Structure 1
């Protein structure tokens, strides 16, 4: 049965399905979601070994994070084999990331094969092609879609642009807009510079600023920075509480907080942050 925990964003770590020795590191990294990968990080001759090995990722003692798998594209034979293997796993993932999604049918197919009595995994779409962006509204309407992730490397390769923030700003913004319209979360792509924490921090700050719920990473040392950036600060929480208090005092009319005009959109955002921070009562 899939976990009742649902992804809250922040850091998502991805680890290769061929390297079982790295599984425990990913699971204990502090990421909100740990994903074992049998797609891009696995060479074609090793796909079967990886999908067999990856079952061990879900058979360890109960983790404190959500466990997922990134399967191969449904347009490939390996993607079909992945679905068959996942359906036969004794220990199953909480979450399935479907790459190269360009149609809501991809999400529907994965759900129809894997859903069973007592088991309905979260199904997330990896958006990473120009055609996917053309069909985003339809993809977002897939009933079993749990959220979306941005695949920057494949997208950049498809449109022959750079991987820098400016080159991909449109794609990120379009994905955020579509996800927000559908009321589902979006997770940003990893930062590929592994040894420059300054670049990682700037990327994470920008991702948060434009509306991403969290960010992927491919190395455990990136987890702490991403968690730090995406976790509301004490100051942000205090400001939100002040705005909520001002809204209650003013009866919901336009008011000022710390010399800044605040109205309904600010009230709603502040209440959402306070509710997220406080959690269920």
Structure 2
């Protein structure tokens, strides 16, 4: 199929914020393109009721908010959905999603594929009408496999993790929905974050999630094309008007896929101002 991406209006840097810390809600949203209010891993079991109440008591702009809910296999899932009835939030991220995910009418779902089952079910999830995006996670994935570390001694993702990342991106791309790259857990490793975010942008991810405010600017810079790249993309597309289906431009053979690369550069430039 020809890739025609569905609109993704959240921007490239999505910042997680614990839902039991309402004092951080507005600050997180101010610093990032969108905030992911987290009812799952970031909140202890005893604090989840208060976190659910905080969603309604401290409202934010719903167009820039995603709420991560607990896995459907847990009793917390139903309580999370019930709490959302008192809020304007209708875009949710479902933790540990797989093919057993129940229908979620009335919500725009980002399916978080972070288990072996979830990775294998990514294509089926992407085909669902209620799913608008896929995200993947490395640490829960490795835990689901009985492993002990997602990265090797050089700090690089292990082969199985890289495979999972690619599988989620391909599943999302095949259905024309957004793919979101995983968080970089090493807070002070900004160079590593930058390299991964640049690769994510170039590969086709729509956004990268993060866990610390210092990561936002790095991610936005990684997704923002340079002025040189924008100029080159515009010149190439201008040349295509009279260049025919396949033509040479500045010593390079140009055809349809190359033109779509240039279009993607301009699309990213319009999103990351």
TM-score (norm 1): 0.85
1:19 matched to 2:5: no
Is contact 1:127–1:149 with CA below 8 Å preserved after alignment?
yes
Indicate if the aligned counterparts of 1:13 and 1:35 stay in contact, CA closer than 8 A: yes
For 1:176, the equivalent position in structure 2 comes to 169
Q: Which residue in the other structure is 1:146 paired with?
A: 132
Contact 1:66 1:95 survives alignment (8 Å): no
Shift, 1:154, TM fit: 0.6
1:249-275 Cα distance to aligned partner (Å, 9 max, x none): 212x22223322211111223234435
Q: 2:150 aligns with which of 149, 154, 163?
A: 163
SS in 2 for 1:256: strand
Give the RMSD, CA atoms, in angstroms. 2.1
Whether the 8 Å CA contact 2:8–2:178 is kept in 1: the answer is: no
Q: Which residue pairs with 1:190 in the alignment?
A: 183
Report how far residue 18 of structure 1 moved.
1.2
- The answer for the alignment partner of 2:122 in structure 1 is 136
**1:8, distance to aligned residue in structure 2 (A):** 4.4
Q: Using the alignment, how far apart are the partners of 1:139 and 1:94 within structure 2?
A: 18
| Structure-2 residue corresponding to 1:75 | 73
Shift of 1:278: 5.5
Q: How big is the shift at 1:22?
A: 1.1
Answer yes or no: is the 8 Å Cα contact 2:139–2:149 preserved in 1: no
Partner of 1:40: helix, strand, or coil? coil
Q: Residue 14 of structure 1: CA displacement?
A: 0.5
Give 1:36's aligned residue: 37
The residue correspondences of 1:190-229 to structure 2 (distance < 5 A) are 190-229=183-222
Does the CA-based 8 Å contact 2:224-2:268 persist in structure 1?
no
- Residue 268 of structure 1 is matched in structure 2 by 260
CA distance in 2 between partners of 1:130 and 1:180 (Å):
20
CA distance in 1, matches of 2:233, 2:209: 27
Q: How far apart are 1:156 and its partner, in Å?
A: 2.0
Taking the TM superposition and a 5 Å limit, the aligned residue runs for 1:103-118 are 103=99, 106=101, 108=103, 110-111=104-105, 115=106
Q: Which runs of 5+ in 1 are unaligned?
A: 116-120
Q: Which TM-score applies when normalising by structure 2? A: 0.87
